[in-house]
């Protein structure tokens, strides 16, 4: 069924912050890959929880604790189903994608990766999907290889195949690059890695908010994402893991609620998913993320994806016509998410971002926590515009007008 166009003005009315003015100019928020703004429904859901249901889940038999438990566990099922995880036990609440990846590093990686084992990453990874594996490799005496990129910002699949022939223990990769916008074929990558005997870890921080994701169809062993990049609060994320993988893992953190019994002689762990959720959880974050899922499902993820594809197509067309602009990543909008990283002449990206800010346009500048990628591109940094459900063509025009001001200032 064809996706329905988003009703952008109605959507924008749900985000009060978009009415804000910056330096006297209308805010144009194009830093969504860093974090998204929050609709009223998410903020209200958190307030409603605290004013009507606040208690510690799983800790009491009184009415408020029962209500809090129902909200907490019901949210888990809804959020898991959003990414195709139909088994309640396979959905772990974390502080975000970074903690999710570290949970896998300690819980699965330390017991299973051995000396001289191969860990395969890609050159487009965020530091969060590099540093944990570097620490693991140093701990175990394993080695890391990075899949090279082609000139158009895609994975070099011939190189990937060469690495798979070396029987890696672990293959970790992003579904969508936070710099290049490149969308990887995770189903193909997971299938090939599985054939090679590897465990797969997918960083979905930049994909789950922007497109339909199904972990069962994908065939991954682990998948991580964050709530704050998909209209939810900060400090909440998800680790999806195959049950058989999670069952064999040791807890990442220890304390209350992750145990069944504690005696002076030792302890016995709780069942999944609670084994990995020590202490009082971020219940307000869970509630907010659940409300964000409701909001996105009401829009339809196919419609979200199509809206971003159209915006990126329009932005690429305008940028390619602009003097001095170098764009990184695929030129085909169907091959990339709602992210465009670029440079303007030899102007430092921080200077570009500062000039754009004066015009009310919020973008990101720097290495975007992807320094190996920057080194492979031969640049120290880039400017990044990233789009979401509330962005418009008019805001792309505002971005281009602000870049034209930068060209005038630097005489490009």
CATH of the domain at 213: 3.40.640.10
pLDDT tens digits, 301-324 = 999 999 999 999 999 999 999 999
For residues 350-354, average pLDDT: 98
| Token digits of residue 19 | 């009415």
191 and 224 housed in the same domain = yes
141 and 271 housed in the same domain = yes
Give 199's pLDDT tier (boundaries 50, 70, 90). Answer: very high
Residue 99 is assigned to a structural domain of this protein: yes
pLDDT at residue 2 greater than cutoff 80? no
135 and 264 housed in the same domain = yes
Neighbouring residues of 170: CB distance < 8 A, sequence distance ≥ 6 = 109, 113, 117, 119, 120, 133, 198, 199, 200, 201
pLDDT at residue 412 greater than cutoff 90? no
Task: Give long-range contacts, CB 8 A cutoff, 24+ apart: 49-56.
Answer: 49/283, 49/284, 49/287, 50/284, 56/280, 56/283
Active site residues: 369
DSSP 58-113: TS-SSHHHHHHHHHHHHHHHHHHHHTT---GGGEEEESSHHHHHHHHIIIIIHHH-
Say whether the peptide bond before residue 383 is cis (omega within 30 degrees of 0).
no
22 and 56 housed in the same domain = no
For the chain, percent of residues with pLDDT exceeding 70: 100
209 and 274 housed in the same domain = yes
Residue 36 is assigned to a structural domain of this protein: no
For residues 182-199, average pLDDT: 98
242 and 123 housed in the same domain = yes
Give CA–CA dist 394/18, Å, rounded: 14
pLDDT at residue 52 greater than cutoff 70? yes
Residue 3 is assigned to a structural domain of this protein: no
142 and 279 housed in the same domain = yes
165 and 280 housed in the same domain = yes
Give CA–CA dist 65/382, Å, rounded: 48
- The structural domain count of the chain equals 2
pLDDT of residue 411: 79
108 and 256 housed in the same domain = yes
- Which of these, 316, 321, 325, lies nearest to 410 by C-alpha position? 325
pLDDT of residue 4: 87
253 and 311 housed in the same domain = no
In this structure, of 1-5, 49-53, 242-246, 287-291, the range with the lowest mean pLDDT score is 1-5
Angle at 201 between CA 231 and CA 42, to 5 degrees: 10
116 burial type by CB count under 10 A (0-12 exposed, 13-18 middle, 19+ buried): exposed
Domain of 402?
Answer: 8-30+300-409
CB-based contact 143:113 (threshold 8 Å): no
Domain end residue (candidates: 273, 297, 321): 297
Domain end residue (candidates: 276, 297, 318): 297
Residue 35 is assigned to a structural domain of this protein: no
Q: What is the 3-state secondary structure (H, E, C) of 201-242?
A: EEECCCCCCCCCCCHHHHCCCEEEEECCCCCCCCCCEEEEEC
Mean pLDDT of the chain: 97
- Residue 335 sits at φ, ψ, to 5 deg, of -100, 5
For residues 401-409, average pLDDT: 95
320 and 279 housed in the same domain = no
pLDDT of residue 1: 54
Angle at 97 between CA 92 and CA 101, to 5 degrees: 80
For residues 31-41, average pLDDT: 98
For residues 346-375, average pLDDT: 97
Residue 1 is assigned to a structural domain of this protein: no
Domain end residue (candidates: 229, 263, 297): 297
233 and 343 housed in the same domain = no
Residue 391 is given by DSSP the state -
């Amino acid at each position: 069924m064809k996706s329905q166009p988003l009703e952008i003005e109605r959507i924008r009315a749900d985000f009060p912050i978009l009415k804000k003015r910056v330096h006297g100019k209308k805010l144009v928020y194009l830093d969504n890959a860093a974090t998204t703004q929050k609709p009223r429904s998410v903020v209200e859901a958190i307030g409603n929880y605290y004013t009507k249901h606040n208690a510690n889940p799983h800790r009491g038999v009184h009415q408020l604790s029962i209500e809090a438990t129902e909200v907490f566990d019901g949210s888990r099922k809804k959020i898991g189903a959003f990414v195709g995880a139909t088994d309640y036990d396979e959905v772990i609440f974390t502080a975000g994608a970074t903690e999710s990846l570290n949970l896998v590093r300690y819980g699965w990686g330390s017991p299973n990766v051995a000396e001289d084992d191969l860990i395969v990453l890609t050159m487009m990874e965020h530091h969060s999907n590099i540093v944990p594996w570097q620490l693991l490799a140093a701990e175990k005496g394993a080695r890391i290889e990075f899949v090279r990129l082609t000139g158009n910002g895609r994975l070099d699949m011939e190189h990937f195949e060469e690495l798979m022939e070396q029987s890696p223990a672990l293959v970790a990769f992003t579904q969508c690059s936070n710099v290049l916008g490149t969308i990887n074929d995770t189903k193909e990558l997971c299938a090939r890695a599985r054939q090679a005997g590897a465990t797969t870890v997918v960083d979905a921080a930049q994909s789950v908010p922007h497109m339909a994701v199904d972990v069962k169809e994908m065939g991954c062993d682990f998948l991580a994402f964050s709530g704050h990049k998909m209209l939810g609060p900060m400090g909440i994320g998800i680790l999806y893991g195959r049950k058989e993988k999670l069952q064999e893992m040791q807890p990442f953190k220890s304390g209350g609620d992750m145990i069944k019994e504690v005696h002076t002689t030792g302890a016995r762990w709780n069942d999944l998913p609670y084994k990995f959720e020590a202490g009082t959880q971020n219940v307000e974050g869970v509630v907010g993320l659940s409300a964000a899922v409701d909001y996105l499902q009401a829009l339809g993820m196919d419609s979200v994806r199509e809206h971003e594809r159209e915006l990126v197509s329009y932005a690429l067309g305008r940028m390619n016509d602009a003097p001095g602009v170098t764009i990184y990543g695929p030129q085909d909008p169907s091959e990339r998410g709602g992210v465009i990283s670029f440079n303007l002449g030899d102007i430092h990206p921080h200077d570009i971002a500062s000039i754009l800010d004066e015009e009310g346009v919020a973008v990101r500048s720097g290495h975007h926590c992807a320094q190996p990628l920057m080194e492979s591109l031969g640049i120290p940094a880039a400017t990044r515009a990233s789009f979401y459900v509330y962005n418009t063509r008019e805001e792309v025009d505002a971005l281009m007008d602000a870049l034209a001001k930068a060209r005038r200032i630097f005489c490009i």
